[in-house]
Amino acid sequence: MATSIPETMKAVVFEQVGQWAVRRVPTPKLENPTDLLVKVLACGICGTDNQILLDPPGAHATPGVIIGHEMVAEVVAVGSAVDAFKPGDMVVGDNNLPCGHCTMCHGGQYNECASLRSMGEDIDGFMCQY
């Protein structure tokens, strides 16, 4: 049975220092052959989320980004090159996105990546429906 994926979804968006809002935003789509689209079933509120919303902030986030770092989700769609996951699989997410090319990444120290990006801070996170 195919899952109907809506065109828009609800998301918690970081507006500015000390302010967030629930907004309706476009639902993500598969863009690359290696992408997964997941339906978020639960998202934790971690210390970083709290720090982002302090005034002054204890952690940086980009205005307009969807916050949220930890999630459990169900796979609803996979890119054409994905063979390790299928719709219906349950997954958890790591919010850190290392480059995979710098010296630290080559040494296995991905958390020290020179170009590390973090979902929920630099790019959209998991406090959303998809």
Question: How much is the pLDDT for 112?
Answer: 93
Question: How much is the pLDDT for 94?
Answer: 84
Question: How much is the pLDDT for 123?
Answer: 94
- pLDDT tens-digit map of 67-116: 998 999 999 999 999 999 999 999 998 889 999 999 999 999 998 999 99
Q: Which residue, among 54, 76, 49, has the nearest Cα to 65 in the 3D structure?
A: 49
Domain ranges of the chain: 8-118
Token readout for 129 is: 């429906």
Residues constituting the chain? 130
Mean pLDDT rounded to a whole number for the chain = 93
Question: How much is the pLDDT for 88?
Answer: 97
- Tell me the CATH number of domain 8-118, given options 3.40.30.20, 3.40.1360.10, 1.10.1060.10, 3.90.180.10: 3.90.180.10
Token readout for 99 is: 């480059």
Q: Which amino acid is at 120?
A: G
Compute CA distances 54 → 51, 88, 98, 100, whole Å. Answer: 5, 37, 26, 32
